[in-house]
Amino acid sequence: MKIEKIEFTCSSPSLKFCPKEDLPEFAFIGRSNVGKSSLINMLAAQKGLAKVSGTPGKTRLLNHFKVNSAIPVRAEAASQQTKPVSWFLVDLPGYGFAKLSKTEREKFEGLIRNYLENRENLALTFLLIDSRLEPQKIDLEFMNWLGDHEVGFIILFTKTDKLSKTQLAANIAAYREALASSWSELPLMIQTSSETKLGKEEVFGAIESTLHMISEE
């Protein structure tokens, strides 16, 4: 996949204010301070596209970025011809706002769940998990919620450059073990780093494959 252009479209306080449902959407979500903005900027190759803040939980709206890209005409890697495809990258508010009041937390979590459950053109969700941490209850509960509501997602382990290969492997293995008790088939997992650009090709590959599947329906 080649990104031709990516630009901010709008920020929406609720589903009804989102852009018209005429393009596939790929949503990015994770717990506060997981490194979501940095990862989006890395994927877009634009430093200031998604605002990076030292204060967790600054994303409070549904942020749409329109992406114009070129993908192979056929799904086979050998294809040399490309075709233009547009889609939306959606930056969702984080979940688990520790410093918000219960009312505010419920408001934002309701916004997230309403989008994930009811946005008809949502094609795929990328769930960001901090690779430095052992399995967190809130992340496992959110994964199970996604599974229960049949929301297709891929796990992106972030900040993988911040720990050793041995520790990284152990932490990912711990997530696999935690999920294995309730999942017959584990979600796809991709290791990423906004610093080294690790995982960029895999993320775009997943988006490209999904776009091909949509075009074949």
Mean pLDDT within 203-213? 95
pLDDT band for 109, please (50, 70, 90 cuts): confident
Would the pTM of this model clear 0.75, i.e. be above it?
yes
Q: Architecture of domain 2-216 in CATH?
A: 3-Layer(aba) Sandwich (3.40)
Helices (H), 119-187: 137-148, 165-180
Q: Quick one: pLDDT at residue 172?
A: 96
Strand (E) or helix (H) holding 129: strand 122-130
Structure-model confidence comparison of residues 102 and 12, the more confident one: 12
Q: Which residue type sits at 29?
A: I
Q: For a pLDDT cut of 70, what percent of the chain falls above it?
A: 89
pLDDT band for 47, please (50, 70, 90 cuts): confident
Distance CA 60, CA 41 (A): 18
Strand (E) or helix (H) holding 86: strand 82-91
Q: Quick one: pLDDT at residue 215?
A: 84
For residue 75, pLDDT beyond 90: no
Which range is least confidently modeled, 14-23, 39-48, 63-72? 39-48
Report domain extents, the chain.
2-216
Of 144, 121, 104, which is closest to residue 66 (Cα–Cα)? 121
* Tens-place pLDDT, residues 139-188: 999 999 999 999 999 999 999 999 999 999 999 999 999 999 889 999 99
Of 3, 42, 27, 1, which is closest to residue 159 (Cα–Cα)? 42
Which range is least confidently modeled, 52-56, 72-76, 102-106? 52-56
Distance CA 96, CA 48 (A): 25
- Those residues with Cβ within 8 angstroms of residue 40's Cβ, 6 or more apart along the chain or in another chain: 28, 49, 50, 65, 89, 91
Tell me the two tokens of residue 148: 């229960």
